[in-house]
Amino acid sequence: MHDSVAGAPPAATGRFEQLPKALNLIPMVAQWLWLGLRYGSLTLPSCANPGITSGGLVGEGKLEYFRAMGPLARSATAEHVDFVAGECTRDDVLAALADAGISLPAVAKPDVGWCGYGVRLLHDTDDIDDYLRRFPDGHRFLLQRYLSAPGEAGLFYVREPDATSGRLLGILLRHYPAVTGNGRDSVATLVQHDERLQRALRAPGHELRFDPDYVPTVGERMRLSTVASTRVGGAYADGSEHATAALTARVDAIARDMGEFHVGRFDVRYESLDALRAGDFRIMEVNGAGSEAVHAWDPKYSIRDVYRIVFEKQRLLFRISAANRARGRRPISALALARLYLAQQRAIALYPPSN
């Protein structure tokens, strides 16, 4: 990805990223327990975004956010159609795409998902047939217009319930797993020499398709995945310095056109950093209270810096949720939250691999 689009990708793996996830979670869980005791509810953040299942902590669908959108927010979002697997045919899919003005390639994604599991780029009718065959019956999925803009960002937004406007808590710049040719080495060799890309080869629930013997020319950039998650070799960088008044105002206007949306992350595509700073982007999807402040994963941050950012997000999440509770909203039970989590994990295990 060119520097004018997202800056140079991080060359190193961050300290936080190097640690086992279970170890990373210990301080977060400890703070969550303390906040739960302070506010009298461990599941209080489930009322952060009233109208969204669990406030977006876990188990909610992408369609819940899209259906909450007014005309302004919808106009900023990539068009989509949705289906229930086992209840539609290839002809149904093609007809719905045509009615929505969506052409192939299109992005297929589960309604209830996480970290890009089950997300595939479909190029033709054979790919549609394959997705329909592999996606679990009875589960809902979306086909969305493919946004070809080269930049991808996560815009983390918060708004206190009694505030007239919100703000950007952070900006995540995503770098897709890719190799850059040197005119000598094959793609397979380039991947073998990249610590991050080795992760893509080992990633469960992911399918790599490339010619291992192809030798990219000098400077030729080859993207290896539809998704940019670190689980498949993507890299995260903190782009919070690109927050401008124009970008903040644009995100705030969209969020306020989504009913009682108070905290979450907009995943967007954009043409250049100048365009992003001007508030020119298209939304791929929205995540709620469970959105991680992953801009903190930038390798430039120390472990202490990472937890400072993450702890701030969790404090805000509880404070916003407490304000909503005072307005009559009620958190769900711990049992209900656990059931949502388990149902989501069971569904993810059935999805076809991302590509």
List of residues 6+ apart from 258 with CB closer than 8 A:
65, 68, 69, 70, 73, 286
pTM: 0.91
- Nearest residue to 83 via CA among 131, 41, 124, 47: 131
State the Rg of the chain over Cα: 20
User: Rounded distance, CA 75 to CA 240, Å?
Assistant: 25
The residue whose two tokens read 């996830």 is 21
The residue whose two tokens read 């019956």 is 137
The residue whose two tokens read 């939304």 is 283
Pairing outcome for strands 167-175 and 282-287 = unpaired
- With vertex at residue 317, the alpha carbon angle to CA 294 and CA 322, rounded to the nearest 5 degrees, is 175
Please give the helix or strand (H or E) that residue 340 lies within, else none: helix 334-350
Q: Hey, where are the domains in the chain?
A: 3-77+148-176+233-350, 79-146, 178-224
Q: Report the CATH number of the 79-146 domain.
A: 3.30.1490.20
Half-sphere exposure of residue 255, counting CA atoms within 13 Å on the CB side? 30
Cis peptide before 150 (omega within 30 of 0): no
User: Rounded distance, CA 33 to CA 54, Å?
Assistant: 18
Going edge to edge, which strands form the sheet with 263-270?
Answer: 235-238, 167-175, 151-158, 263-270, 282-287
Going edge to edge, which strands form the sheet with 120-122?
Answer: 80-84, 140-145, 106-110, 120-122
User: Rounded distance, CA 133 to CA 108, Å?
Assistant: 13
Please give the helix or strand (H or E) that residue 221 lies within, else none: strand 221-223
Q: Which pLDDT score, from 0 to 100, does residue 3 have? A: 52
Q: Which pLDDT score, from 0 to 100, does residue 7 have? A: 57
- Nearest residue to 289 via CA among 314, 306, 268, 308: 314
Rounded alpha-carbon distances, angstroms, from residue 234 to 21, 171, 219, 263: 16, 16, 19, 25
Q: Running along the chain, 355 residues long, what does each successive block of 10 average in pLDDT? A: 57 65 87 97 97 96 97 98 96 97 96 88 95 96 95 95 94 87 86 75 69 85 76 81 97 97 97 97 96 83 90 96 96 97 94 85
Q: Count of CB atoms within 10 A of residue 232's CB?
A: 28
Sign of the torsion formed by the C-alpha atoms of 192, 118, 56 and 341: negative
Pairing outcome for strands 263-270 and 282-287 = antiparallel
Q: Which pLDDT score, from 0 to 100, does residue 151 have? A: 93
The residue whose two tokens read 């009615």 is 99
